[in-house]
Chain A
Amino acid sequence: MTNLLKIRNLRKSYGNINAVDGIDFDVREGEIFGLLGPNGAGKSTVISMISTLFKPDSGDVLYNDKSIVENNRFIQSDLGIVPQDIALYPTLSGLQNLKFWGRNYGLKGRELDEKILGVSKIIGIEERLKDRVDKYSGGMKRRLNIGVALLHDPKILIMDEPTVGIDPQSRNHILETVKDLNKKGMTIIYTSHYMEEVEFLCDRVSIMDDGKIIATGTVDELIEIVGSTFNVVLEFNIVEEELVQMLKGLENVQSITIDGDSLILNVKENGILKAVVDKLNGSKYHVVSMDVEKPNLETVFLYLTGKALRD
């Protein structure tokens, strides 16, 4: 597969904040590329620069080897953008919204009507097309938000956290839609802080934190980074710094993250529970419950940053 997009040493700062701090990655034609990271990692800023909305302080974005920082027209007609926020006109109907955005891309007449019909089937809102958007549920608004980006058959679709704040049914519908679009050949860049979505959808993933790419690869390649480590989630009667210090000294414990009344222990091998029980014997701390998580992108993020993905 050829590299459709090349991101080179991209930087963007706001005052003293380095929102994006010199990142590099490629997006291959026909793949679903995931950008995974917690809120504030810099994903939306990267997306805004790729979609030519923000100008980078330095670095370049090449689309088919042409700089879209210098001339955004190289990508405009090939690009569909699904912003994180609902970018629709709430007092207009779904149909009026689709017509407006379709016309902006030069569609008109029968072609526009056919595109609207096709897109409304994909996003599943045919029966509510004539209703005002402010009467839609959150999930329907999200789906229409996606539909607007599909009207002109873009070659590359950028989706920025498209499932934030919606019900599971709409979420599943959106994920299935993304899969279907990709099967038809559309290249998709998908950002999310939900690692399950990224694991489910993406061929390759870049993990971002504090404006930097900390790892890039397929989901399997990323999980291999953590090797045989896995997470043991222990819920205690009480969590204090003293407890964290006691457990940090245990053999095979890579890192410890506090999550409410629980501690997430990233460990190398089995048998940690016996060691924990032995360590806490006679102390005021008692294990209330325990769970063992297999390695996933969450584990990878925890392993690489020492932080939980949803912190």
Chain B
Amino acid sequence: MMKLMNIVRKDVRILLSDKKMLAILILMPIILMTILGSGLSSSFQSGTDFEQFNIGIVREYDVLSPQEALESISLVEGIDTQDIDFNIDEVIFDEVLKSEDIEKLFVSSEYLSRDSALEALENGEISSVVIFPESFLKDTYINMLTPFKQKIKIEIIVDPNQNIKSQIVIAVFSGFENYLNHMITAKSLFTETVIKSGMGYEALENLDKVYEAFEDKFESDINISYSNFEAKKMVNSMEYYSIAMLSMFILFTGGQGGRMMLEEKNQYTYQRMSVSGISKWQIFFGKFITVLIIGIVQVGIMIAYTSIVLKVNWGNLINVVVITICALLAVAGMGGMISAITLKTGNFKVANLMENFIFQIMAFLGGSFVPVEMLPNIFSKISYFTINGLALKAYLLNMQGYSILEYRSLLGILLGITALFISIGIAIMNQEKRWKNAEHYTPADA
């Protein structure tokens, strides 16, 4: 154990003495977090270039005509409901949701009950649920066609993991809310004027013309409340890219670890250690632990910077530690596997391939460049096969206030990846006899 710790201490010192490498592993992600977090904040609020997504609509009210809806209300004396051809239900479903512009963004499906819609939301079939209350239709007609006002609450429940899609749904229905509120305000003013001037109920027949002419904004009587299911916090761009860059740059720490065994061999210290009685396993696990330690330093600095300077709230810190350890174990396992392959092949091609190509692909697929929800749905599934994608999801969920039990499967996959990579590394190292690792024959050496 002492020899192992001696190797780790030496390896950590070597890595920390490499200023160029430190700049790549620590300084670069900090700069990128800051630039991307502030530069892309607008795209987190508006959201464009999306693949069409699904939302659920729940009509808790009975579909009635204005006449049927107002029939039961005794206070509508004097209004000739037979002439009213304004159907709010048709406006919502035929004009708003079926409009060309809206259908470019999302497709709405109707659910029979709130529970079935929420189940679909939890299963990821839809990204939001819009619930119109039981009294919606009747109250809307009262608001629009009578002198009276009723408070209406439309509920929107969103998936916090689909931040940007949720923002779109909220924006669309807020627009609809404004539209209705304008109508109600227009009605109120017009009714008041008619009553004050003694024009009689006949004047109310011109109400539809008033609606068309009215555009100013007034106090709202229709309220759309939105929340994500389980009322979780939604992340902003600074928070997202703090996580995204951290998740991506820990991969490069693993890559750096992957070079260390062959570097030892190339500078003949591997051979010297072998002769001095250090086993290949002590060297192998020394690199593994070194990557883990460097990763902890790297992540610690990034979290401290983003918390203090960028004011990012990472959520439950104990969970952050657990996620970090799971992610870094996977990264160290990957480093160990690359190390073994690199040692076996005797060149840095695999390490270079990982750093210059595979990590970039993993960064993209895992959502470190752009959120995977902005990409076709298949990318969201692929992101589960990347270390950074899994870490990113876990950090995000923790940041949003989820309990660790709710994303334990992500941590389980990370630990599974660790076991897989270490097993591959051990299998490769096992094929190599001690002297095989050390031998480096050229005729000039003989």
- List chain A residues, Cβ under 8 A from B441: 14, 19, 45
- Please tell me which one of the listed residues B10, B17, B271, B435 contacts residue A100 in the complex, with CB atoms under 8 A apart: B10
Q: Are A40 and B277 neighbours in the complex by a CB distance under 8 Å?
A: no
**Is B445 an interface residue, CB under 8 A from the partner?**
yes
Closest A-chain residue to B15, C-beta based?
A: A91
- List chain B residues, Cβ under 8 A from A77: 277
Q: Are B267 and A87 neighbours in the complex by a CB distance under 8 Å?
A: yes
**Is B443 an interface residue, CB under 8 A from the partner?**
yes
Closest A-chain residue to B433, C-beta based?
A: A55
Cα A105 to Cα B6 with chains together (Å)? 11
- Please tell me which one of the listed residues A19, A53, A91, A96 contacts residue B438 in the complex, with CB atoms under 8 A apart: A53
Asked if A53 meets B446 with Cβ closer than 8 Å, knowing A92-B10, A103-B3, the reply is no
Closest A-chain residue to B9, C-beta based?
A: A100
Q: Are A85 and B278 neighbours in the complex by a CB distance under 8 Å?
A: no
Q: Are B443 and A88 neighbours in the complex by a CB distance under 8 Å?
A: no
A 84-96 to B, binary, CB cutoff 8 A, 1 in contact else 0: 1111111110001
**Is B439 an interface residue, CB under 8 A from the partner?**
yes
Cα A14 to Cα B443 with chains together (Å)? 9
**Is B212 an interface residue, CB under 8 A from the partner?**
no
- Please tell me which one of the listed residues A42, A79, A86, A88 contacts residue B446 in the complex, with CB atoms under 8 A apart: A42
**Is B444 an interface residue, CB under 8 A from the partner?**
yes
Cα A306 to Cα B6 with chains together (Å)? 51
- Please tell me which one of the listed residues B267, B277, B439 contacts residue A89 in the complex, with CB atoms under 8 A apart: B267
A 49-76 to B, binary, CB cutoff 8 A, 1 in contact else 0: 0011111000000000000000011001
Cα A39 to Cα B446 with chains together (Å)? 7
**Is B276 an interface residue, CB under 8 A from the partner?**
yes
Closest A-chain residue to B6, C-beta based?
A: A103
* B394-446 with Cβ < 8 A to chain A: 433, 435, 438-439, 441, 443-446
CB of A273, distance to nearest CB on chain B (Å): 38
Interface centre among A43, A53, A54, A132 (most CB of B within 10 A): A53
A 102-115 to B, binary, CB cutoff 8 A, 1 in contact else 0: 01111010000000
**Is A83 an interface residue, CB under 8 A from the partner?**
yes
Cα A53 to Cα B6 with chains together (Å)? 21
Closest B-chain residue to A44, C-beta based?
A: B445
**Is B18 an interface residue, CB under 8 A from the partner?**
yes
Closest B-chain residue to A85, C-beta based?
A: B268
Q: Are A51 and B273 neighbours in the complex by a CB distance under 8 Å?
A: no
- List chain B residues, Cβ under 8 A from A148: 272
CB of B437, distance to nearest CB on chain A (Å): 10
B 186-215 to A, binary, CB cutoff 8 A, 1 in contact else 0: 000000000000000000000000000000
Asked if A100 meets B268 with Cβ closer than 8 Å, knowing A44-B446, A91-B14, the reply is no
CB of A5, distance to nearest CB on chain B (Å): 15
- List chain B residues, Cβ under 8 A from A76: 275-277
Closest B-chain residue to A43, C-beta based?
A: B446
Asked if A41 meets B446 with Cβ closer than 8 Å, knowing A81-B275, A91-B18, the reply is yes
Q: Are A91 and B17 neighbours in the complex by a CB distance under 8 Å?
A: yes
**Is B274 an interface residue, CB under 8 A from the partner?**
yes
- List chain A residues, Cβ under 8 A from B313: none
* B249-308 with Cβ < 8 A to chain A: 267-269, 271-278
Interface centre among A45, A54, A72, A105 (most CB of B within 10 A): A54
**Is B2 an interface residue, CB under 8 A from the partner?**
yes
Interface centre among B2, B10, B274 (most CB of A within 10 A): B10
CB of A245, distance to nearest CB on chain B (Å): 31
- List chain A residues, Cβ under 8 A from B274: 52-53
- Please tell me which one of the listed residues B10, B273, B276, B439 contacts residue A96 in the complex, with CB atoms under 8 A apart: B10
**Is B13 an interface residue, CB under 8 A from the partner?**
yes
CB of A10, distance to nearest CB on chain B (Å): 13
Q: Are A86 and B268 neighbours in the complex by a CB distance under 8 Å?
A: yes
- List chain A residues, Cβ under 8 A from B444: 39-40
Cα A132 to Cα B17 with chains together (Å)? 10
**Is A136 an interface residue, CB under 8 A from the partner?**
no
Asked if A53 meets B277 with Cβ closer than 8 Å, knowing A14-B441, A40-B444, A45-B445, the reply is no
- Please tell me which one of the listed residues B2, B271, B276, B435 contacts residue A55 in the complex, with CB atoms under 8 A apart: B435
- List chain B residues, Cβ under 8 A from A236: none
CB of B125, distance to nearest CB on chain A (Å): 55
- List chain B residues, Cβ under 8 A from A211: 446
Cα A132 to Cα B275 with chains together (Å)? 24
Cα A168 to Cα B439 with chains together (Å)? 31
- List chain B residues, Cβ under 8 A from A87: 267-269, 271-272
CB of B151, distance to nearest CB on chain A (Å): 71
Cα A284 to Cα B14 with chains together (Å)? 64
CB of B169, distance to nearest CB on chain A (Å): 55
CB of A224, distance to nearest CB on chain B (Å): 29
Asked if A79 meets B275 with Cβ closer than 8 Å, knowing A54-B439, A91-B17, the reply is yes
Q: Are B277 and A104 neighbours in the complex by a CB distance under 8 Å?
A: yes
Cα A39 to Cα B443 with chains together (Å)? 8
Q: Are B433 and A92 neighbours in the complex by a CB distance under 8 Å?
A: no
Q: Are B17 and A73 neighbours in the complex by a CB distance under 8 Å?
A: no
Q: Are B13 and A96 neighbours in the complex by a CB distance under 8 Å?
A: yes
Q: Are A40 and B435 neighbours in the complex by a CB distance under 8 Å?
A: no
Closest B-chain residue to A56, C-beta based?
A: B435
19 intermolecular pairs with C-beta atoms under 8 Å apart: A45-B441, A48-B438, A52-B435, A53-B274, A53-B435, A54-B435, A55-B435, A73-B277, A76-B276, A77-B277, A81-B272, A84-B445, A85-B267, A87-B271, A100-B6, A101-B276, A104-B3, A104-B6, A104-B277
Known contacts A14-B441, A44-B445; 6 additional CB pairs below 8 A are A41-B446, A73-B277, A81-B272, A83-B268, A91-B17, A96-B13
Interface, chain A (partner B; CB < 8 A): 14, 17, 19-20, 39-45, 48, 51-55, 72-73, 76-77, 79, 81, 83-92, 96, 100-101, 103-106, 108, 132, 148, 211
The 3 closest A-B pairs by CB, nearest first: A87-B268, A87-B272, A91-B17
